[in-house]
Every structure is written in structure tokens, then in C-alpha cells.
């Protein structure tokens, strides 16, 4: 309603109506979430009580069949039976008390363990002595134990759900804000902990994405709604679950995360909160192509997986892994997500008759260093982040293959900057990147591979974009790094002296920083003349002819002395590098034969 109103009406009254509708939508969203938790709690309670209820009924049926008496306190009365060898008389009957902790009237604790039938002739059960020879006693004791066990289990279940349900209360007032969602997040956690046996234990967390899709497909609609209500964070981030379902779960989960982080004052939480709020704002706006939130979380530096276009129905799917200094913050929304959208729009132009979904996958912790840091010290970048991210990326891509409805979708793995190392390591795992037809590497410091053939798609399906002024694509190998560091140190010192002389303390700081960068580049260039030019920081330069990939034309970008490191970030942006953006889009839609080539280094 709000969407149609905003498109057809332009007035203050229309804007006021839209605001009211949006507020109403937020209120209903909250009510839906809380009612879902109540329903799941009641269903969980009923479901879990079913097992002890069945055991109780079976025990009562056995007592009836034997004509035993079931007393109000749960004890079992049994008749005389057997023969006393000393007197020749029948052994008297008695009662058996369960020893599994059942409750009794006036007793809020648990029964102490019974004597299990210890017997002294003529006194009945309960007095230490011989084992009770009455054949009815053992049967009665078994029934009493089963009743006590069933009641104790039911009491434990009841208490667990009572605690969860007691927390499902709305705060005072009618405003649904961050504090309200923070309370809802606590509610989700409480119900989730209570319903672990009922729901979470059945989620196939240790199965393949294909097996998870099969599990989801065979759930009833009511079961699906319960999982979405109680475990939105799990379902929303579970590879193999359909995109529309993950999007629904994560649109709720992002509200819960915003509520959770809004009450925290540390800088990391504030930074992540900026990113979450930015994504939420984008979700509430009309988007071309439509936006799907396939993953969200506050682990590490934040997690976010956003798709422009539905990856389950699209014929072409690309998944781009960002690199250096990327994290869940405001810049991720304004820059990184925009790159994925630009690729989707470019793909639509490259092939108007084929649907495309363009994904940005921040499912790992990228190194929090900038190209400037690298110019001064390459030792700040390691493989560990990419090694941790590679299997997670492959799991996600396996999920894309499992849920895509096309018979033969065209899937492209894209790695930018350090993300190209993550994609490269993923491609070198057994079987390669699941479903991938092509791999694109831009701004790459290396993939850990010696040649393009190592990436498991065939070297003619590996495409590389490397701007001549992108220093990250020319990071020194480990032998060259010493020259770069020395140059940076020398350049920084010289720049500092000159800056102080010309502009005082501020000039010294600026001059020192610029000198560090320029000196580092100069040091690298000097060492580069003496070593194998095909080898960079993470192995063979993907743009070098020794690697064997197809290099496509990109803009050189501004030199470091003029534009800093802008050349490293322009590959996807048509307004900055139309040639690169067009080439990427053509590869994504399967038209790599139309790209403009560039000679390898």
C-alpha cells in the first residue's frame, strides 16, 4: 500500500499517510514476531509433553491390565501373591513408590530413592531385608518408576516453557523502536533455548546445502513458520535454504540485531550499527533489481550477504567477495553493495533477455588494512582470513547451486582485492567453487595458485582485471618486500623534514605520510627490477602471462601520486571505469567472447 501510494500521490497528506502506514507495518511486524514466538512455545510444550504423556498412559494401561491400584500420589498398590515358605501363607500385598523424582501432594521436592522392594517377612516392603518375594511387587515397582519418570520429565518441560513464556511481554507504551526489538531479541533467545529439543535439534546443520534444501522442502508450512519465528538467525544464514525464505528471516533478524547493538556503547558496535541501519534503509526503499538479504550477523567485523535479483530464479548468478578493509559499516552500504548493484544493472544491459542476480558476499573477516598500510608494510597481510573464508564461500555457492531453479545456470565467482585470494583458495579446494563456470579476479594481490589451471574451471574461464596504477596488483613478493619497507621508511623521513620546513607540524604529518607512500612505491620498483616479475605477495600475478588467465581491458586509474589508491576501487563502477564494468557484466551473462582484451603483463 505504501509503495503504490508513494508512486501515485505527491502531496503532504500522501506523505503523512505513508508515514502512518510504515509505522503500522513496523507494529504488525513486531506483533507477528512475538505471536510467532508464543505459538512456537505452545506448540513446543505440547509436542514435548507428548512423549511423557504416552509413557504415562502405557504405565496406567499396564496397571489396569494387572488390576493394580494407582494411588493419587502415584504409588502402585498390588495384591498378595506367592507363598511364604515359613508359614505357607500368601505373601501380603503392598505398594510400590517410584524412585524417579515424581511430585506428591504437599511435597514440592523429589521422592528419595525407594528401597526397590527390600523386604522383611511379615512387615511388607519398606524395611531393609530380603528382596520382596511377592511376584507382584517387581511389576508394580516398574509401573511406579515409569509413572514417576514421566511426571518428572513433564515437570521439567513445563518449567522450561513457563520461563520462556513469562518473558513474552511487550514493554509499556505503543512505540516499536530499537528498545522494543532489543526486548524481542531476548524473547527469541529465551524461546530458542526452550525449544532446542523440539525444533533446533532437527535443523540439519551438519548436512550439505542440498540436504538442507530437501529438509526444508519437506516441512509443513506451519513448521517453516515456527523455525522462522524462533530461529531467524539460523534459517536466515543457512546455506541451502531458498533465497526468499532467507530474506524473510533476515529482515526480522536485522531488526533484532539493531535492537541488540543499540544498547551497546563500544565503537565496534556503533560502527556495525551504522551498517545495519544502512542496509535496513535500503531494504525499505524500492530497488532495481529487487534486493534480497541472504545473510546478516554480528560475528567478527560483521556479516552481510546481499543480492540484487533473486538468485534462485536468475539464469545468471555472480557472487563477489570484497577485500581489504571491508566490514559491516556505513561504507559497506554506500560502496561495496553499490558495486554489486552496478554489476546487476550492467548485466541487464549486456543481456536484456536473461535474468541476473548479483551478490556481494561478506561472509568472512577481511583484513582491516588499507592499501596505504600495505605501501608501508606488506607484513600486515596474511592468508589466515582467506583460509577461513574459503570453505564458507564454497558452502554458500553450493547453496546457490542447490536452490537455483534453472537447469543450467551460469555462475560466476568474483574476487576483488584480498577477496580474490579467498576466491582463489576456495577454487583450489577439492571440486573447486561449486557450480562456478567462470572466475573473475580484479585488483588481485595473488590467489595462492601458480597458474589459472589450478582454479578448477579451466584457464580460459579465468578472467583478470588489473589497473596499471593499482599498486595492490603489484604487491612485492617476499624478497621485494624489504626494498619496499626501506623505501617507505626513507620516503617518510624525507617527507617529514620537507613538510616541517614548508608547513610546520601539520605539513610534517602530511609530508611524512605522502613520503611513506611514494618512497614505498619507489623502493618496490627498485627491487622489482631484480626479481621475477610474475611473483607477487600471494603467488603468481594473475595478470601475468605466466599465470595463463585472460586479461581484460580496464582503465589505468590515476597514479598514486595523484589519486592515492583510487585505481584499486574503480573496477565495478561505470562512472569511474566503464570499460572494466562492461567487461565484468559481459562475463557474468556468459558473453565473455565479447569482452575487450588486454595483453598480460
pLDDT 10s digits, 166-182: 888 777 776 778 778 78
Is the omega angle on the peptide bond into residue 289 within 30 degrees of 0, that is, cis? yes
pLDDT band at 265 (very low <50, low <70, confident <90, very high): confident
pLDDT band at 127 (very low <50, low <70, confident <90, very high): very low
Average pLDDT rounded to a whole number, residues 224-247: 94
Average pLDDT rounded to a whole number, residues 33-55: 88
Task: Order the strands of the 118-120 sheet from edge to edge.
Answer: 124-125, 118-120, 130-131
H-assigned helices in 428-529: 481-528
Query: What is the rounded CA–CA span in Å between residue 489 and residue 518?
Result: 10
Cβ-based neighbours of 206, under 8 Å, separated by 6 or more: none
- Does residue 507 have a pLDDT over 70? no
More confident residue, 67 or 374: 67
pLDDT band at 43 (very low <50, low <70, confident <90, very high): confident
Least confident window among 46-55, 70-79, 445-454, 489-498: 489-498
Count CB-CB contacts under 10 A for residue 314.
28
Instruction: Report the Cα 211 to chain-centroid distance in Å.
Output: 18
Average pLDDT rounded to a whole number, residues 128-142: 81
Query: What is the rounded CA–CA span in Å between residue 48 and residue 547?
Result: 59
Average pLDDT rounded to a whole number, residues 267-276: 95
pLDDT band at 526 (very low <50, low <70, confident <90, very high): low
User: 259, 184 in Cβ contact below 8 A?
Assistant: yes
Least confident window among 69-73, 245-249, 260-264: 260-264
Average pLDDT rounded to a whole number, residues 375-385: 72
H-assigned helices in 529-577: 560-563
Query: What pLDDT score does 100 carry?
Result: 56
Residue (of 138, 57, 62) closest to 96 by Cα position: 138
Query: What pLDDT score does 15 carry?
Result: 86
Average pLDDT rounded to a whole number, residues 51-60: 94
Residue (of 60, 42, 281, 24) closest to 175 by Cα position: 24
Query: What is the rounded CA–CA span in Å between residue 341 and residue 335?
Result: 10
Out of 105-114, 238-247, 469-478, 511-520, give the one with best mean pLDDT. 238-247
CA distances from 519 to 296, 477, 567 (A): 41, 17, 18
Query: What is the rounded CA–CA span in Å between residue 435 and residue 399?
Result: 10
Query: What is the rounded CA–CA span in Å between residue 302 and residue 347?
Result: 28
Grid coordinates representing 493?
623521513
Query: What is the rounded CA–CA span in Å between residue 409 and residue 496?
Result: 56
Query: What is the rounded CA–CA span in Å between residue 378 and residue 375?
Result: 7
Average pLDDT rounded to a whole number, residues 497-504: 42
- Residue linked to cell 556468459: 590
Cβ-based neighbours of 516, under 8 Å, separated by 6 or more: 375, 376, 488, 489, 491, 492, 495
Query: What pLDDT score does 316 carry?
Result: 98
Residue (of 487, 399, 437, 459) closest to 204 by Cα position: 399
**Percent of residues, the chain, with pLDDT higher than 90:** 58
- Does residue 354 have a pLDDT over 60? yes
Query: What is the rounded CA–CA span in Å between residue 380 and residue 384?
Result: 12
- Does residue 372 have a pLDDT over 50? yes
Average pLDDT rounded to a whole number, residues 197-202: 80
CA dihedral 127, 132, 135, 141 (to 10 degrees): 50
Query: What pLDDT score does 525 carry?
Result: 53
pLDDT band at 330 (very low <50, low <70, confident <90, very high): very high
pLDDT tens digits along 81-91: 888 877 888 88
Average pLDDT rounded to a whole number, residues 99-109: 45
- Helix %, strand %, coil % of the chain (to 5): 50, 10, 35
CA distances from 184 to 261, 271, 310, 439, 592 (A): 13, 22, 29, 42, 48
Task: State the number of CA atoms in the 13 A half-sphere of 68 facing the CB.
Answer: 29
Grid coordinates representing 296?
546478516
Least confident window among 28-32, 161-165, 438-442, 465-469: 28-32
Residue (of 389, 338, 540) closest to 451 by Cα position: 540
Angle formed at CA 555 by CA 554 and CA 560, multiple of 5 degrees: 125
User: 128, 116 in Cβ contact below 8 A?
Assistant: no
Query: What pLDDT score does 122 carry?
Result: 40
pLDDT band at 587 (very low <50, low <70, confident <90, very high): very high
Backbone angles phi, psi at 200, to 5 degrees: -65, -30
User: 589, 410 in Cβ contact below 8 A?
Assistant: yes
Least confident window among 65-69, 111-115, 135-139, 330-334: 111-115
Query: What is the rounded CA–CA span in Å between residue 294 and residue 38?
Result: 26
Average pLDDT rounded to a whole number, residues 236-244: 97
Query: What is the rounded CA–CA span in Å between residue 568 and residue 372?
Result: 11
Average pLDDT rounded to a whole number, residues 400-424: 97
Grid coordinates representing 160?
522450561
Query: What pLDDT score does 520 carry?
Result: 53
Query: What pLDDT score does 581 carry?
Result: 98
User: 266, 186 in Cβ contact below 8 A?
Assistant: no
| Local structure of residue 287 (DSSP, 8 states) | -
Residue (of 222, 217, 367, 397) closest to 301 by Cα position: 367
Q: Provide the mean pLDDT of the chain.
A: 85
- Expressed in angstroms, the distance from the first to the final Cα of the chain is 56
Least confident window among 118-127, 188-197, 298-307, 465-474: 118-127
**Percent of residues, the chain, with pLDDT higher than 70:** 84
Query: What pLDDT score does 479 carry?
Result: 60
Instruction: Report the Cα 415 to chain-centroid distance in Å.
Output: 19
CA distances from 24 to 35, 39, 227, 277, 570 (A): 16, 22, 25, 19, 41
More confident residue, 597 or 481: 597
More confident residue, 345 or 376: 345
User: 473, 420 in Cβ contact below 8 A?
Assistant: no
Residue (of 529, 448, 446) closest to 484 by Cα position: 529
Query: What pLDDT score does 456 carry?
Result: 97
Amino acid at each position: 500500500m505504501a509503495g503504490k501510494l508513494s508512486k501515485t500521490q505527491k502531496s503532504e497528506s500522501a506523505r503523512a499517510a505513508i508515514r502512518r502506514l510504515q509505522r503500522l507495518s513496523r507494529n504488525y511486524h513486531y506483533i507477528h514476531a512475538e505471536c510467532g514466538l508464543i505459538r512456537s512455545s505452545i506448540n513446543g510444550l505440547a509436542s514435548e509433553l507428548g512423549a511423557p504423556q504416552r509413557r504415562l498412559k502405557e504405565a496406567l494401561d499396564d496397571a489396569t491390565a494387572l488390576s493394580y491400584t494407582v494411588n493419587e500420589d502415584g504409588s502402585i498398590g498390588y495384591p498378595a501373591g506367592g507363598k511364604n515358605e515359613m508359614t505357607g501363607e500368601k505373601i501380603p500385598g503392598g505398594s510400590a513408590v517410584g524412585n524417579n523424582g515424581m511430585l506428591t501432594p504437599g511435597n514440592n521436592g523429589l521422592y528419595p530413592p525407594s528401597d526397590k522392594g527390600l523386604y522383611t517377612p511379615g512387615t511388607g516392603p519398606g524395611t531393609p531385608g530380603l528382596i520382596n518375594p511377592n511376584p507382584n511387587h517387581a511389576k508394580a515397582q516398574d509401573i511406579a518408576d515409569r509413572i514417576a519418570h514421566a511426571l518428572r520429565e513433564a515437570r521439567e518441560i513445563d518449567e522450561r516453557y513457563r520461563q520462556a513464556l513469562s518473558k513474552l511481554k511487550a514493554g509499556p507504551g505503543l512505540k516499536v523502536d530499537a528498545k522494543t526489538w532489543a526486548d524481542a531479541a531476548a524473547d527469541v533467545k529465551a524461546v530458542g533455548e526452550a525449544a532446542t529439543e523440539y525444533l533446533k535439534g532437527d535443523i540439519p546443520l551438519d548436512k550439505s546445502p542440498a540436504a538442507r534444501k530437501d529438509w526444508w522442502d519437506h516441512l509443513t508450512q506451519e513448521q517453516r513458520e515456527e523455525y522462522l519465528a524462533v530461529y531467524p538467525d539460523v534459517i536466515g544464514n543457512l546455506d541451502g535454504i531458498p533465497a526468499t525464505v532467507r530474506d524473510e528471516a533476515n529482515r526480522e533478524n536485522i531488526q533484532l540485531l539493531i535492537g541488540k547493538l543499540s544498547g551497546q556503547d563500544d565503537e565496534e558496535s556503533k560502527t556495525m550499527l551504522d551498517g545495519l541501519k544502512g542496509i535496513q534503509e535500503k531494504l525499505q526503499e524500492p530497488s532495481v533489481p529487487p534486493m534480497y538479504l541472504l545473510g546478516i550477523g554480528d560475528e567478527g567485523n560483521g556479516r552481510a550477504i546481499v543480492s540484487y535479483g533473486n538468485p534462485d530464479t536468475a539464469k545468471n548468478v555472480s557472487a563477489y567477495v570484497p577485500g581489504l578493509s571491508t566490514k559491516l559499516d556505513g561504507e559497506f552500504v554506500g560502496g561495496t553493495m553499490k558495486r554489486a548493484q552496478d554489476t546487476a544493472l550492467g548485466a541487464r544491459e549486456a543481456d536484456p533477455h536473461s535474468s541476473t542476480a548479483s551478490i556481494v558476499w561478506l561472509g568472512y573477516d577481511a583484513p582491516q588494512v588499507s592499501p596505504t598500510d600495505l605501501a608501508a608494510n606488506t607484513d600486515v597481510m596474511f592468508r589466515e582470513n582467506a583460509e577461513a573464508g574459503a570453505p564458507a564461500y564454497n558452502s554458500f555457492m553450493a547453496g546457490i547451486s542447490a536452490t537455483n531453479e534453472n537447469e543450467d545456470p551460469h555462475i560466476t565467482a568474483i574476487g576483488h582485492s584480498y577477496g580474490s585470494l579467498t576466491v582463489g583458495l576456495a577454487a583450489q579446494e577439492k571440486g573447486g567453487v561449486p557450480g562456478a563456470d567462470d572466475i573473475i579476479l580484479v585488483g588481485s594481490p595473488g590467489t595462492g595458485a601458480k597458474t589459472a589451471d589450478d582454479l578448477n574451471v579451466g584457464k580460459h574461464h579465468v578472467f583478470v582485471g588489473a589497473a596499471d596504477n593499482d599498486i595492490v596488483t603489484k604487491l612485492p613478493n617476499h624478497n621485494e618486500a624489504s626494498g619496499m619497507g626501506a623505501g617507505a621508511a626513507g620516503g617518510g623521513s624525507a617527507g617529514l623534514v620537507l613538510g616541517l620546513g614548508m608547513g610546520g607540524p601539520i605539513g610534517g604529518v602530511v609530508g611524512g605520510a605522502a613520503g611513506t607512500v611514494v618512497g614505498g612505491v619507489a623502493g618496490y620498483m627498485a627491487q622489482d627490477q631484480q626479481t621475477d616479475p610474475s611473483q607477487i605477495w600471494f603467488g603468481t600475478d594473475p595478470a601475468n602471462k605466466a599465470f595463463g588467465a585472460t586479461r581484460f581491458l580496464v582503465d589505468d586509474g590515476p597514479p598514486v601520486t595523484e589519486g592515492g589508491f583510487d585505481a584499486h576501487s574503480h573496477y565495478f563502477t561505470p562512472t569511474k571505469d566503464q570499460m572494466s564494468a562492461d567487461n565484468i557484466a559481459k562475463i557474468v551473462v556468459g558473453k565473455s567472447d565479447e569482452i575487450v582484451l588486454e595483453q598480460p603483463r
